[in-house]
Amino acid sequence: MKIKKVICSAGKTGFFFDDQRAIKAGARNDGNFYTGKPVTPGFTSVRQAGESISVLFLLEDGQMAHGDCAAVQYSGAGGRDPLFLAKDFIPVIEKEIAPRYESLEITSFRELADIVDKMVSPTTGKIYHTAIRYGITQACLDAVAKSQHKLMAEVVAEEYGTKVSEEMIPIFTQSGDDRYLNADKMIMKAAAVLPHALFNHVEDKVGWKGEKIRAYVEWLRNRVVEKRPCPDYHPVFHIDVYGTLGTVFENDFKRIAEYISELAEVAKPFKLRVEGPVDMGEKQAQIEALAAIRRHMETIGTDAEIVADEWCNTFEDVRDFTEAKAGHMAQIKTPDLGGINNSIEAVLYCKEHDMGAYLGGTCNETNRSAEVCAHIAMATRPVQYLAKPGMGVDEGYMIVYNEMARILAVRAAK
């Protein structure tokens, strides 16, 4: 079967693009807006509407394969590709990439994905934006699955030598700024990992001694104990602090480890993970910092974990953080890795090298990219999979839960 035509449509994502540098520099919330001027190139405001591009492959037999190009909320930060706007990149796809796929025979996913993931633009001389490679490789996977009359998870498992999970992958839900009301939603739905909590501003959310995070973790522990839907509900607490502990403790890695250990005691009986404790501004320094914090945590003997996020963007980054033991878990932020083939390989690499694999992404994705990644999760079995898109809990949780449930039901019926 061949790909007959490639079609693009501009779309919206489930959240926003936020200028992380401006927020860290002091931009404040004003309702759903932020005050102040943007700092990162390409932004016209500190927060602006997220955009996506749907890429549709019309197949010879009339079926339509579909993927969505999307970029992370904090585009242009932490070594990532720049802001992704549909008007800028639809012409690139139509003029430079579509001709490579139209009239092409559908073979394997890996072969089709490699085309766009390794292509160099004749205009820029560089590989394509991560968002472009992300969406087109989703369409490639869907096209192979439709041509073979299989689930996308089954295609991944067959090509990468894995086995599709026979149970749900634990779902990690994120609250955004509404960390109290949304935590209640997570508890009610019995989310396996919660709440993210968006601790991205020292004065307003973290506290200059970390006291605001500590108070929130204590509240969350008590809330789960009081409101859990069943006695055996025992979620993992996973909070993202966006490097702010480095600011609070002046990058004293031993003190940061001690603080995380103290938080873990507050969280008990629930396990604690802290994502992005520091942001050192560049990759090698970030690796050394997270490795040092992990070593101090091991000396203390805490069962808390830290999660690598900033500066851990590509497959090569995931490999480098893993080899250096820079953290206990790596977030595989799917849009940042470009082609979904790289996310698949990153999960498998982490699992082979004693690093927790968190198949993540961003609130700024779409329902389609979340569904495709659910198939990757079921085929590769990471420790946890992010509920996405959005920060409202219900929508993202529904999308990924239901897609994984469909995979289980279809395979059971077969």
Verify that 146 and 190 share a domain, yes or no: no
Verify that 245 and 151 share a domain, yes or no: no
Q: Are 406 and 151 in contact (CB under 8 A)?
A: no
Starting at the edge strand that comes first in sequence, how are the strands of the sheet with 3-18 ordered? 3-18, 47-59, 64-69
165 in a domain, yes or no? no
53-62, 75-84, 321-330, 401-410: the lowest-pLDDT one: 75-84
Q: Are 375 and 410 in contact (CB under 8 A)?
A: no
Verify that 154 and 178 share a domain, yes or no: no
Verify that 253 and 196 share a domain, yes or no: yes
What span, in angstroms and rounded, lies between the C-alpha atoms of 411 and 100?
34
319 in a domain, yes or no? yes
Verify that 175 and 123 share a domain, yes or no: no
Give catalytic status of residue 333 as yes or no.
Answer: yes
Q: Are 134 and 341 in contact (CB under 8 A)?
A: no
Report the 10 Å Cβ neighbour count for 240: 22
166 in a domain, yes or no? no
What span, in angstroms and rounded, lies between the C-alpha atoms of 104 and 410?
29
**Over residues 166-176, mean pLDDT:** 97
> Mean of the per-residue pLDDT values for the chain?
96
Q: pLDDT, tens digit, for every residue of 179-193?
A: 999 999 999 999 999
Q: Does residue 79 carry a pLDDT above 80? A: no
Which residue, 160, 182, 202, sits at the end of a domain? Answer: 160
Q: Which two tokens stand for residue 364?
A: 């700024």
Q: Does residue 78 carry a pLDDT above 70? A: no
- What is the rounded (10 degree) CA torsion for 40, 44, 48, 52? -80
Verify that 94 and 179 share a domain, yes or no: no
Give phi and psi for 4, each to the nearest 5.
-85, -45
* pLDDT-above-70 percentage for the chain: 100
Q: Which residues contact 146 (CB under 8 A, 6 or more apart)?
A: 59, 63, 65
Q: Are 369 and 70 in contact (CB under 8 A)?
A: yes
Q: How many residues does the chain have?
A: 414
Report the 10 Å Cβ neighbour count for 164: 18
Nearest to 364, CA basis, from 83, 91, 21: 83
Amino acid at 91: P
Domain count, the chain: 2
Q: Is 63 assigned a ligand-binding role in the annotation?
A: no
C-alpha distance across the termini of the chain, in Å: 24
Verify that 194 and 268 share a domain, yes or no: yes
Banded model confidence at residue 354, pLDDT cuts 50, 70, 90:
very high
What span, in angstroms and rounded, lies between the C-alpha atoms of 119 and 96?
10
Q: Which two tokens stand for residue 12?
A: 């919206």
Verify that 151 and 221 share a domain, yes or no: no
Q: Are 25 and 34 in contact (CB under 8 A)?
A: no
Nearest to 109, CA basis, from 141, 132, 64: 141
Active-site residue among 24, 146, 333, 388?
333
Q: Is 331 assigned a ligand-binding role in the annotation?
A: yes
Q: Does residue 414 carry a pLDDT above 80? A: yes
263 in a domain, yes or no? yes
What span, in angstroms and rounded, lies between the C-alpha atoms of 344 and 170?
17
326 in a domain, yes or no? yes
Q: Residue for token digits 């979340």?
A: 370
Amino acid at 254: K
133 in a domain, yes or no? yes
Verify that 193 and 307 share a domain, yes or no: yes
This prediction's pTM:
0.95
Q: Is 309 assigned a ligand-binding role in the annotation?
A: yes
Which residue, 160, 194, 209, sits at the end of a domain? Answer: 160
**Over residues 63-85, mean pLDDT:** 90
Indicate which CATH number applies to the domain containing 148: 3.30.390.10
Nearest to 159, CA basis, from 409, 340, 406: 340
Q: Does residue 317 carry a pLDDT above 90? A: yes
For residue 26, the model assigns a pLDDT of: 87
Strands 33-34 vs 29-30: parallel, antiparallel or unpaired: antiparallel
Verify that 122 and 188 share a domain, yes or no: no
282 in a domain, yes or no? yes
Verify that 287 and 388 share a domain, yes or no: yes
Domain extent, residue 286, equals: 171-413
Which residue, 160, 185, 216, sits at the end of a domain? Answer: 160
**Over residues 140-163, mean pLDDT:** 98
Q: Does residue 267 carry a pLDDT above 80? A: yes
Indicate which CATH number applies to the domain containing 318: 3.20.20.120
What span, in angstroms and rounded, lies between the C-alpha atoms of 71 and 47?
14
Nearest to 342, CA basis, from 156, 161, 169: 156
Verify that 103 and 183 share a domain, yes or no: no
Q: Are 348 and 321 in contact (CB under 8 A)?
A: no
75 in a domain, yes or no? yes
